[in-house]
Structure 1
Amino acid sequence: MTTDRPNGTLYTKIESKIATLEFGHPASNSFPSELLQRLTDELNALSNNPEVTIILLKSEGEGAFCAGASFDELLAVSNLEQGAKFFSGFANVINAMRKCSKLIVGRIHGKAVGGGVGLASACDYAMATVDSAIKLSELAIGIGPFVIEPAVSRKIGKAALAEMTLAAHEWQNAYWAKEKGLYAKVFDNVKDLDNELDLFCSKLASYNPEALSEMKKVLWEGTEKWDTLLPERAAISGRLVLSDFTVKALTQFKK
């Protein structure tokens, strides 16, 4: 089932210490600002919820995992303040994932573009299907993956980031993403993916929550400056999205 709500949907189900957090949007699970804010708020709430040990992040439907930023909102940006605010949405989500006291497991069931790659990268552990190709197309529309870059580079390294970013029209397949460290495992189909996720999350949830929380801190050591870095990056993207190049590219892309 795919949502038809224009601002998207966000659902949380808590069962056996595992919080399944599912987002959805009719435009290939892309993110308008409101949905980014709701996801940030929910991650912060789950971080403080003693009933939760593990978070499973997923998106709805059978198509794309996440198409990144909302094109409609990108086109609607008319000044620097709006631009910085929009891209800060992704900055806030990534920082919420980073600072969350619970380990986050990603279920990547389909293609991820731009901000979707950022979300997958900010998971502590991600599993995918063979259909989960990735692309950073930002340069092709006159901006760049500046906000998500620290999260992506942390997972796959600068060389792989350059390969993805500069070949902005090219998809990299799921096995490439696994080889580079973005995905821990790749499965032939969603059924196999979900079976493995059930086993993995149940096993994780049975471990000492305090130990898991301390492990989370270790995994994210050295990222403390992201609280200021990511908003700075959001301002760069917010400026570039106003350029004539980007406005033309977005309009053409939408057609």
Structure 2
Amino acid sequence: MTQPYVKQTIENGVGTIEFFHPAHNSLPGDILAKLAQTITDAGVNDEIKVIVLKSGGNRTFCAGASFKELIHINDAETGRVFFSGFANVINAMRKCPKFIIGRVQGKTVGGGVGLASATDYCMATQFAAIKLSELNVGIGPFVVGPAVERKLGLSGMSQIAIDANSFYPAEWARQKGLFTQVYETTEELDEAVKAFAENLCNYNPEAMKEMKQMFWKGTEDWDTLLAERAQISGRLVLSDFTKETLKRFK
């Protein structure tokens, strides 16, 4: 079984950050912390002009929170800390002075939809259906909600948050503005991401930094907002409903 990892490579000014977990790229706390730190470091690395965020494997981009960890949360503080993991990654992406291009090769669920939404430009394959499944286990997409809403609008975000059992196709996500393009194969996606990212490296980094700040205007309170949201999820994960539901997943 392959070990979970976060790794970064730099080629032609493009810093590629890749995360992986054998359980469908679900993200436990230690991997989230490493991901947030890697993004922050890439933001201040002069060798990197543009960042590409991707996951390992070919089936699932990200299955969201680690169920294994969710099952073991027994107090509100542990819950808050766990859900803050996704908050910290989203905030690291928001504050990073460089454009982050998302490369989404497959299905993405819950927190994974949050990650895709926090990229500045996101490209996907036709297999990249999205789902906000949090309500299924008695919580809600509180932490990722602001990022998803920023991309899909309140209507799109609330639709998939309420219809927590359904995968929405990549084409739906493209029409709503989450994905910029949808490709038939992963090979085509990779070629397009590479060409696009390398082309961006020719532009003025100062201009890109200013543009990024402009795009994220109005999110300055997210450090506080997402921390408050993490507290809500941390509280709900302790509810009898969620405890019972998670037992069934064991």
TM-score bracket relative to the smaller structure: over 0.9
- RMSD across aligned positions (CA): 0.8
Q: 2:84 aligns with which of 88, 109, 115?
A: 88
Q: Could you say which residue in structure 2 is the equivalent of 1:40? A: 36
Instruction: Give the secondary-structure state (helix, strand or coil) at the position aligned to 1:56.
Output: strand
Q: By how many angstroms is 1:162 displaced?
A: 1.3
Q: By how many angstroms is 1:12 displaced?
A: 0.3
The separation in 2 between residues aligned to 1:44 and 1:123, in whole angstroms, is: 14
Q: Could you say which residue in structure 1 is the equivalent of 2:126? A: 130
Moved over 2 A (4+): none
Q: Could you say which residue in structure 1 is the equivalent of 2:62? A: 66
Q: 2:183 aligns with which of 173, 184, 187?
A: 187
Q: Could you say which residue in structure 2 is the equivalent of 1:153? A: 149
AA matched with 2:29:
S
Once the two structures are superposed, what CA deviation does each residue of 1:85-120 show, in whole Å capped at 9, x if it has no partner?
A: 000000000000000011000000000000000000
Instruction: Give the secondary-structure state (helix, strand or coil) at the position aligned to 1:65.
Output: strand
Q: 1:4 aligns with which of 2, 5, 22?
A: 2
Q: By how many angstroms is 1:171 displaced?
A: 0.7
Q: Could you say which residue in structure 1 is the equivalent of 2:193? A: 197
Q: By how many angstroms is 1:248 displaced?
A: 1.1
Any stretches of 5+ residues in structure 2 without a counterpart? Answer: none
AA matched with 2:206:
E
Count of equivalent residues: 250
AA matched with 1:218:
M
Q: 1:217 aligns with which of 213, 218, 241?
A: 213
Q: By how many angstroms is 1:253 displaced?
A: 2.8
1:110 partnered with 2:106:
yes
Q: Could you say which residue in structure 2 is the equivalent of 1:57? A: 53
Instruction: Give the secondary-structure state (helix, strand or coil) at the position aligned to 1:145.
Output: coil
State the identity %: 53
Once the two structures are superposed, what CA deviation does each residue of 1:135-186 show, in whole Å capped at 9, x if it has no partner?
A: 0011111000000000000000011111101111011000000000000000
AA matched with 1:235:
Q
Q: By how many angstroms is 1:193 displaced?
A: 0.6
Q: By how many angstroms is 1:16 displaced?
A: 1.1
The separation in 1 between residues aligned to 2:35 and 2:195, in whole angstroms, is: 25
The separation in 2 between residues aligned to 1:249 and 1:161, in whole angstroms, is: 23
For residues 222-241 of structure 1, the aligned pairs below 5 Å read 222-241=218-237
Q: By how many angstroms is 1:201 displaced?
A: 0.5
Instruction: Give the secondary-structure state (helix, strand or coil) at the position aligned to 1:242.
Output: coil
The separation in 1 between residues aligned to 2:247 and 2:118, in whole angstroms, is: 30
The separation in 2 between residues aligned to 1:236 and 1:142, in whole angstroms, is: 12
Any stretches of 5+ residues in structure 1 without a counterpart? Answer: none
Q: By how many angstroms is 1:250 displaced?
A: 1.4
* TM-score under structure 1 length normalisation: 0.97
